[in-house]
Amino acid sequence: MIIATILNTLFITSNIHANLLGDYIASDNPYKVDQRRTLGTGSRSNCNNQLKNGSIELIVPSMKVVHFTTQARPNLYLSSKNNYQNPFKFFLIDAQSAKTIAQKDILIRTGVNQISLPSSVNLKTNRIYLWYIGIPCGNNDNQYEVLNSSLKRILPNSNLANNLNFNKTNEQLAKIYAINGIWYDAIDYAFKSNSTSYINQLLLSAGVNQIKY
């Protein structure tokens, strides 16, 4: 009984500490999906793009689950250790209908790259979307090395909505979204805040590798 009480106290204290720091706290009931954030030791195709492991990484949590947003057109991010002359391919697909919602070419530069969705996109609430980055193969223009993640638009609950109603800095908004498990909004406001210390803290709490700005 005493041990259980101590463990419970430590758990609560840990959560309070995470909330104070603005750590990312994932959903209690996550929906598991396939996710490939970065290039690993083995290629999934006959690609010969000569990219080093970890040279491209989607800026999403390490957990292979659906990550949330409250926005109709959230910004997506990836990091790169190099500039690339050939454009990458971006696709956004509705997982329910398997329809392509958006696709475009994106030029990748060293550091953090923001992917803005077209103005025609209006994500539906409570629906899962899959997004893909196609990296051109050096030996075949028609083949791509693919990274992928997912997102789901949700409506903020009343408590979150009340917290967001007051004037807050971008860093404060990022922390509110992070502790409520809304990744895409949290990382977007974190980058807008230009607070390197908090960005690093948020990335660390989500299991994201250190990135170049």
Q: For 8-17, 43-52, 66-75, which range has the lowest pLDDT when averaged over its residues?
A: 8-17
Cα–Cα distances in Å, from 169 out to 23, 104, 165?
17, 32, 12
CA angle 129, 126, 67 (to 5 degrees): 55
Would residue 17 count as lying in a domain? yes
CA angle 144, 62, 152 (to 5 degrees): 80
Mean pLDDT of the chain: 84
Torsion of CA 5, 180, 191, 153, to 10 degrees: 150
Range of 156's domain?
A: 2-205
Q: Which of 110, 98, 85, 90 is nearest to 212 (CA)?
A: 110
Q: How many helices (H) and strands (E) does the chain have?
A: 5, 8
Residue with tokens 């970890």: 54
Would residue 36 count as lying in a domain? yes
Model confidence pLDDT, tens digit, residues 166-205: 778 999 999 999 999 999 999 999 999 999 999 999 999 9
Would residue 213 count as lying in a domain? no
Would residue 132 count as lying in a domain? yes
The string of DSSP letters for 76-119 reads: EEEEESS--SSPEEEEEEETTT--EEEEEEE---SEEEEEPPPT
Residue 50 — very low, low, confident or very high, per pLDDT cuts 50/70/90?
A: low
Residues 76, 69 contacting (CB under 8 angstroms): no
pTM of the model: 0.85
- Count of CB atoms situated within 10 Å of the CB of 110: 13
- Taking each helix axis as running N to C, give the angle between helix 170-179 and helix 2-21, from 0 to 180 degrees, rounded to the nearest 10: 150
- Report how far residue 182's alpha carbon sits from residue 200's, in angstroms, rounded to the nearest whole number: 17
The CATH number of the domain holding residue 97 is 2.60.40.2550
Would residue 47 count as lying in a domain? yes
Q: Tokens standing for 75?
A: 């910004």
| Residue 33 or 78, more confident | 78
Per-residue confidence (pLDDT) for residue 119, from 0 to 100: 94
Would residue 108 count as lying in a domain? yes
- If one counts the domains in the chain, the total is 1
Model confidence pLDDT, tens digit, residues 67-115: 999 999 999 999 999 898 889 999 999 999 999 999 999 999 999 999 9
| Residue 18 or 180, more confident | 180
Buried b (16+ CB within 10 A) or exposed e, 155-169: ebeeebeebbeeeee
φ/ψ of residue 89, rounded to 5:
-105, 135
- Report how far residue 111's alpha carbon sits from residue 132's, in angstroms, rounded to the nearest whole number: 19
Would residue 102 count as lying in a domain? yes
